[in-house]
Amino acid sequence: MTEKQWHECLGELVRDYIRSPELEFYFSIKMNKPRAAVMVKQQSLFVRHRRDCWAHVSANCPVLGVKQRILEHEYEEIIRDDFSDYGHLHLIIRQGKSVGLEPEEIIRAEPLPETLATLYAWSWMTSEMPWTESLAGMTITEWCNDDRLLGDLGGGQSTRMAKKWMEDMGFSWKEIPNLQAHSRADEKHSDMFLPFLAEYATGNKEAPAIQAARDSLAFNAMYRKGIALAQEKIPL
């Protein structure tokens, strides 16, 4: 497939994902601070785990251009970008303060069963599968925040959740820095690896890469459903 065809293919997968029953459930939960705190803690685990996963993709990939692009991506996530001088985990810690969480509570968060299963799945995908497949599986999760692709469906994950935090709890953008950043940063990250999929996920590598992207979205849906189930148990 060409780069444009990859964009269309992955875009349709993400649009199906955002309309899935799991995501409808995830966005249906009315927010209060204790419920929001569940999301913040699980998101901190997600964000830290992705650093390992991207490192696995890089280690398994012999293409210098891909490694360079991963380093560019990870510099913005871990070190500095337009949204933070301290990396994106710092954004989560700042957002956690808005719902009454201390930094230590976020750093020492325990994974929900669904979170743990998802993190194991992504670890296996990125360390054991061919790099073209793991690259597709990792990059497509960035697309879940892309408002350009999902604007007519209410926006990407971060934009939609930001609206919930503002509507349900009266927060401002300043109080939700992680959601604000990812409603914008992942538009850039969505596009970063398309040229490499078009060049290297070809022939008999194409279908497995598409399946890996589909599987990764299924993992993401399970992770979001687990958060919603835990939140639902907390009284309003």
pTM of the model: 0.92
The predicted pLDDT at position 183 comes to: 55
Cα dist from 94 to 13, 34, 99, 109, 184, whole Å = 32, 16, 10, 15, 18
- 224: nearest Cα among 145, 171, 124, 123: 145
pLDDT at 130: 98
Count helices and strands (H / E) in the chain. 13, 0
**Ranges of residues in the chain whose predicted pLDDT is under 70:** 80-87, 180, 182-189
67-94 pLDDT per residue, tens: 999 999 988 888 865 655 556 788 899 8
pLDDT tens column, 95-119:
899 999 999 999 999 999 999 999 9
For residue 216, what pLDDT is reported? 98
Of all residues in the chain, the percent with pLDDT exceeding 90 is: 81
- For residue 74, the model assigns a pLDDT of 87
pLDDT of residue 89: 82
Of 222, 199, 228, which is closest to residue 136 (Cα–Cα)?
A: 199
Dist CA 71 CA 67 (whole Å): 6
How confident is the model at residue 188, as a pLDDT? 61
User: What pLDDT is recorded for position 156?
Assistant: 93
**% of residues, the chain, pLDDT over 70:** 92
